[in-house]
Chains A and B, each alone.
Chain A
Amino acid sequence: MELPPCYNENRLVLMVQEPAVIFSYWELSREQWESLRGEHFLFLRLYISASSGESASWREISLPPFTDNWYFRDVLPEQSYYAEIGYYGPEGEFYPLVRSNRVTTPRTRKVAGVARFLKADSPFQLTTGEDGEGVPEEGYSSADLWSRS
């Protein structure tokens, strides 16, 4: 049994690997390729979107032929990202063919805040201190142990 190389669909998907790395994979349908007729170079653009709703192009990759995935290895924690694949028109306009889902990278630091308690008889509030930058703990798991083999 073999898996199909593609599903003949347009799609572009982002996945968060870790706070600094986003993985993307994509596929363009046969009809999409036919409509391009090999006339255009394709680009993969990663956008960072601010909470205000505005977004800015963050990275742009000129896609080498036959690539179907890409790792962005320098993204920022606690940010929202999406991507597009498209090409440039003669006037320099970027025409996206497909747009991805949005992903949010995780926080890598500790944040102070007002403590709220649930189910307490007499609700009380305390504030956590400013601990500054936190370093994620090394993962100790079966993954590490098994890798000894």
Chain B
Amino acid sequence: MPAGYLALVLHAHLPFVRHPEVPERLEERWFFEAVTECYIPLLEVLHGLDRDGVPFNLTISLSPPLLAMLADPLLQKRYLDHLEAMIRLGEAECRRTAGDRNFYPLAAMYLEKLNGVRRAYVDKYRGDLVAAFRKLWMTGKVELITTCATHGYLPLMQTREARKAQIGVGVDFFTRLFGRPPRGFWLPECGYAPGVEELLKEFGIRYFFVETHGLLNGNPLPLYGVFAPASCNNGVAVFGRDPESSRQVWDRHAGYPGDYYYREFYRDIGFDLDLEYLRPYLPGGVIRVDTGFKYYRITGPGSCKEPYLPDRARERAAEHAAHFLSRRQQQILRQGAGMGRPPLVVAPYDAELFGHWWYEGPQWIDFLCRKICFDQDIIEMITPSRYLSLYPDMQVVEPSLSSWGEGGYSRVWLNQDNDWIYRHLHRAEAVMVDLAALYPEAGGVLKRALNQAARELLLAQSSDWPFILKMGTAVEYARERLVEHIGRFNFLVQQLEKGPIDEETLREIEYRDNIFPHLDYRIFNRHRFPGRVTGGSDASLRILMLSWEYPPATVGGLARHVCDLSRALARLGDEVHVITGPVAGEGTYSLQQGVHVHRLLPGQLNAGDFLRWVEQFNEGAVELTGSVIERWGKPHLVHAHDWMVGAAGERLQVEYHLPLVATIHATEYGRNRGIHTALQRRIHEQEYRLVQEAGLVICCSEYMAEEISRLFAVGREKIRVLPNGVDPASLLAGREKEPDCRDLYHREPNIVFLGRLVPEKGVQVLLEAMPAILRQVSNARLLVAGRGPYGDYLQARVRELGLQDHVRFVGFVDDLGRNRLLEMARVAVFPSLYEPFGIVALEAMAAMVPVVIADTGGLAEIVEHGVDGYRVPAGRPDMLAHYITRVLLYPGLAVEMCRRARRKVLTLYDWQYIAGETRRVYRQALDSPEPSTEPLPSLPARTI
């Protein structure tokens, strides 16, 4: 067994530079040069090692844009044309330098190399370098992985969906090309942001890499530092970059590539020779560029350069390989002591360093692999996958935000040279996510336009553009590309929104930006992972749903919630079995819109005492589940809604080893603002048990999550927040016409409140605000809908304030009444002092009524202040009056808010979306280890 391992990782990437619209484009040379100088030499080295039976191991990351270019027939042809032009230049150089003792041998060397590249490209690889890499992968010595679709820098993206698309499209594209999915993933620029591992896992990724401090500043500091992979909370492995081996290669002063015997990159005949002579080989015949004919060695810091000596440089490459190896040996012997396992050194580099910048780089790799495999036995080369199979135990660490760029964070991709791009990119992200929600199943030309918009967004997100803008070379090109892709995106969006789609222009855009032919725009949909080749987490689930009520039996909002959720899950392809109470007119089993509903018999629930009744219900539910399992098979998990079914959930979890997920819709403590009676205490204890026993807990707002965490002493990481959904169709009944925000211009200045009349709903605050509102809008009128114990007080307060002419109590309203009121409203106000969620505010938003809400509880989480409504500190009549007045006085402002609010409800509070998110929670619960069997600690006394 070796004392330690080295994982050499090469990341190959170039931006997508393909310009079919012109015969020649300077930037395509980036690709051509890299093929000649980096990719073919690397392939030759690796195939040579394999041929010679060297048991090396190497990991290569191939970016999707690079793969797309390697596989593209147009670029393949153009590359060959370019290569042949370079060979002609080589022949001209041999003639020009004939007789020169120093330069003729170099010209001849370049010519021979170019002919060799041509032979390899044409005869050996037949133009298909993707196949050449695939062949290496088949040897088992090279592991191929990939990266984001267009090398988008993840930490600066705004939405989870944009990150998801970058990762998912990349994995999908790679898998299609190679016929098998990647196990590892290279984060562009090592850019890690917390949460990325969740998305990687969704796409079947087993490991990724971070910069050194991404692990060392993780929580907690890993025992083995970067010398062993760690595990994220979800089990995805994370490898940290070793700083020492990085520095030896990268460091601008001490690094190997700066050796004085190595070839000088910055002396090229493209800049040194006469323009007339070079003309046939330059782009457009006028632009001086690097030709690759470089005749000098680095020599020293000054501008005086000596001729290049290839044999001497080759010796240096061998010496540097030996040096690198000896340092790794020392490092491993030093680190290995006390680790209890062989340490791993992870050394990732940009593949383009080797051959292009560091001309001797491919030779160095060749020497290094041979030396490691034949000259010593302290170190073995390894791939991350093999290391994980040998040492599957990993310490759990939460990595920290990081990148391998200057400064270690995002300074390179966000600074005064490039910060302007993000207002465009972020907006495009948000629009794309909304479009994917608004067009769940587009077809025909509409689908093509959406797919192309997604392509344009991805191309605009490439980390290369902000990088180039910062570096100051080729700035115009980067700017042009950004403007084109965002411009095309905006153009397509405008056509999608206003129609019709101009097919000819669409075709032209498709022709220009043809990357990712299989792209499906629905990857931007918040809850879908469509068209995936890799799999696992997509399989449908069998879910057992426990709820004491289910429509048509509805006492509270619970039945509606469980019903909407179950149906949406069924639409996603899951098999949902609801275990619930009896209802007149329905048998014990029925299939309702794809949901299997199993009901207890009325005879099973005959107790007069409430708690005894609950016991009966739970006993019956467990029994009924037994027969459901017999008939339908064992479910994947149990989902219990609220404490009343908690006991059944717990028993099923233990008896059948099923993961338990619990939704806590409200707490007894919250409803009563404390625990005051023996019954309340019993319920409170039941809630505590359920929260403790469940693998994961779902609630409707961050506010509730805090409350649950505090009351029941559970870690916040166990709780997931999923909002309640709204069905916009239910808001139409009783209205004269469909919601249209332009109607706000014509409506009376009606202020509407809907809710129970209890102090915590805050109507009294609104009354106090009325005089200030009336001073600016004298004909404003407040309509208060609802009833409750506080009604009398409020009516008296209206009289005291002299508001009788401006406030009307309309009493209790049903759904129709609510819809009619919303149709009259210029603004809806929810001034609550306490509010776990606030579904009415969402209903108002869905009905396109501007909302002013109190900044409290879960209610506050619904509204983005100044964007889709206003949020006012609770209990502040002056502030409330200010914002209500703004909305009444400036309908234009309100119209924009209503548009945004409506879109939010349709996309974020859509049951289909919530069901998708619920599935994600199920997946996490299924991945969690078995619950412990230790007895529960007793309920913390302070909450009672």
Nearest-CB residue, chain B, relative to A118: B231
Determine whether A58 belongs to the interface, using a CB cutoff of 8 Å to chain B. Answer: no
Q: Which of A17-40 contact B (CB under 8 A)?
A: 17-19, 21, 23, 25, 27, 29, 31-32, 34-35
Query: Which residues of chain A are near B250, meaning CB under 8 Å?
Result: 140-141, 144-145
Contacts A/B (CB < 8 Å), 17 sampled: A3-B486, A8-B896, A10-B896, A12-B866, A15-B410, A31-B890, A31-B892, A35-B886, A35-B892, A109-B217, A118-B396, A128-B221, A134-B216, A136-B402, A139-B406, A140-B404, A146-B471
B422 touches A13 (CB 8 A): yes
Q: What does the 1/0 interface line of A56-96 toward B look like (CB < 8 Å)?
A: 00000000000011010000000000001100010101011
Q: Which of B212, B252, B266, B883 contacts A145 (CB 8 A)?
A: B252
List the one stretch of B201-209, B376-384, B412-420, B673-681 in contact with chain A: B412-420
Q: What does the 1/0 interface line of A106-137 toward B look like (CB < 8 Å)?
A: 11111111111111110000101001001011
Task: State the Cβ distance, A25 to closest chain B Cβ, in Å.
Answer: 5
List the one stretch of B322-330, B423-431, B436-444, B828-836 in contact with chain A: B423-431
Q: In whole angstroms, what is the CA distance A21 to B408 when docked?
A: 13
New contact pairs (16) apart from A4-B490, A96-B866, A99-B864, CB-CB < 8 Å? A3-B424, A13-B158, A15-B422, A16-B155, A17-B414, A18-B411, A97-B866, A99-B867, A106-B402, A107-B400, A111-B221, A136-B213, A137-B211, A140-B247, A141-B406, A147-B471
Determine whether B519 belongs to the interface, using a CB cutoff of 8 Å to chain A. Answer: no
5 tightest Cβ-Cβ pairs between the two chains A and B: A113-B220, A98-B866, A140-B250, A106-B401, A18-B409
List the one stretch of B308-316, B387-395, B525-533, B567-575 in contact with chain A: B387-395
Q: In whole angstroms, what is the CA distance A34 to B893 when docked?
A: 9
Query: Which residues of chain A are near B866, meaning CB under 8 Å?
Result: 10, 12, 32, 85, 96-99
Determine whether B189 belongs to the interface, using a CB cutoff of 8 Å to chain A. Answer: yes
Determine whether B85 belongs to the interface, using a CB cutoff of 8 Å to chain A. Answer: no
A15 touches B156 (CB 8 A): yes
B483 touches A2 (CB 8 A): yes
Q: In whole angstroms, what is the CA distance A118 to B392 when docked?
A: 8
Q: What does the 1/0 interface line of B858-880 toward A look like (CB < 8 Å)?
A: 00000011110001000000110
Task: State the Cβ distance, A40 to closest chain B Cβ, in Å.
Answer: 12
Task: State the Cβ distance, A23 to closest chain B Cβ, in Å.
Answer: 6
Task: State the Cβ distance, B900 to closest chain A Cβ, in Å.
Answer: 8
Q: In whole angstroms, what is the CA distance A120 to B228 when docked?
A: 14
Contact A144:B406 (CB < 8 A) given known A17-B411, A99-B871 = yes
Q: In whole angstroms, what is the CA distance A141 to B250 when docked?
A: 7
B407 touches A18 (CB 8 A): yes
Q: In whole angstroms, what is the CA distance A139 to B410 when docked?
A: 11
Task: State the Cβ distance, B80 to closest chain A Cβ, in Å.
Answer: 28
B403 touches A31 (CB 8 A): no
Determine whether B602 belongs to the interface, using a CB cutoff of 8 Å to chain A. Answer: no
Query: Which residues of chain A are near B252, meaning CB under 8 Å?
Result: 144-145, 148
Contact A128:B222 (CB < 8 A) given known A35-B886, A98-B867, A147-B471 = yes
Query: Which residues of chain B are near A128, meaning CB under 8 Å?
Result: 220-223
Contact A118:B211 (CB < 8 A) given known A128-B223, A140-B251, A144-B250 = no
Determine whether B445 belongs to the interface, using a CB cutoff of 8 Å to chain A. Answer: no
Determine whether A41 belongs to the interface, using a CB cutoff of 8 Å to chain B. Answer: no
Determine whether B895 belongs to the interface, using a CB cutoff of 8 Å to chain A. Answer: yes
Task: State the Cβ distance, A112 to closest chain B Cβ, in Å.
Answer: 6
Query: Which residues of chain B are near A143, meaning CB under 8 Å?
Result: 189, 405-406, 412, 467, 470-471
Q: Which of A21, A31, A117 contacts B393 (CB 8 A)?
A: A117
Contact A137:B212 (CB < 8 A) given known A3-B486, A118-B235 = yes
Query: Which residues of chain A are near B871, meaning CB under 8 Å?
Result: 99
Q: In whole angstroms, what is the CA distance A15 to B409 when docked?
A: 12
Q: Which of B158, B357, B486, B893 contacts A31 (CB 8 A)?
A: B893
B400 touches A106 (CB 8 A): yes
Q: Which of A29, A95, A138 contacts B893 (CB 8 A)?
A: A29
Determine whether B487 belongs to the interface, using a CB cutoff of 8 Å to chain A. Answer: yes
Query: Which residues of chain B are near A91, meaning CB under 8 Å?
Result: 878
Interface residues of chain B, those whose CB is within 8 Å of chain A, are: 155-156, 158, 189-190, 211-213, 216-217, 219-223, 231, 235, 243, 246-247, 250-252, 266, 350, 352-353, 357, 392-396, 400-412, 414-416, 419-420, 422-424, 426-427, 467, 470-471, 473, 483-484, 486-487, 490, 706, 864-867, 871, 878-879, 882-883, 886, 889-890, 892-893, 895-896, 900
Nearest-CB residue, chain A, relative to B484: A1
A17 touches B410 (CB 8 A): yes
B223 touches A25 (CB 8 A): no
Task: State the Cβ distance, A120 to closest chain B Cβ, in Å.
Answer: 4
Q: In whole angstroms, what is the CA distance A30 to B197 when docked?
A: 40
Most A-side CB within 10 Å, residue of B467, B486, B867, B900: B867
Q: In whole angstroms, what is the CA distance A136 to B411 when docked?
A: 14
Contact A137:B484 (CB < 8 A) given known A35-B889, A96-B865, A97-B866 = no
A139 touches B414 (CB 8 A): no
Q: In whole angstroms, what is the CA distance A8 to B405 when docked?
A: 34
B483 touches A149 (CB 8 A): no
Nearest-CB residue, chain A, relative to B190: A141
Contact A19:B412 (CB < 8 A) given known A10-B867, A137-B243 = no
Q: In whole angstroms, what is the CA distance A17 to B401 when docked?
A: 11
Query: Which residues of chain A are near B420, meaning CB under 8 Å?
Result: 69
B890 touches A126 (CB 8 A): no
Query: Which residues of chain B are near A3, meaning CB under 8 Å?
Result: 424, 483, 486-487, 490
Query: Which residues of chain B are near A147, meaning CB under 8 Å?
Result: 471
B405 touches A141 (CB 8 A): yes
Q: In whole angstroms, what is the CA distance A17 to B420 when docked?
A: 14
Q: In whole angstroms, what is the CA distance A78 to B542 when docked?
A: 41
Query: Which residues of chain B are near A101, meaning CB under 8 Å?
Result: 158
Query: Which residues of chain B are near A137, meaning CB under 8 Å?
Result: 211-213, 243, 408
Nearest-CB residue, chain A, relative to B876: A93
Task: State the Cβ distance, B432 to closest chain A Cβ, in Å.
Answer: 14
Contact A7:B427 (CB < 8 A) given known A13-B158, A139-B403, A146-B471 = yes
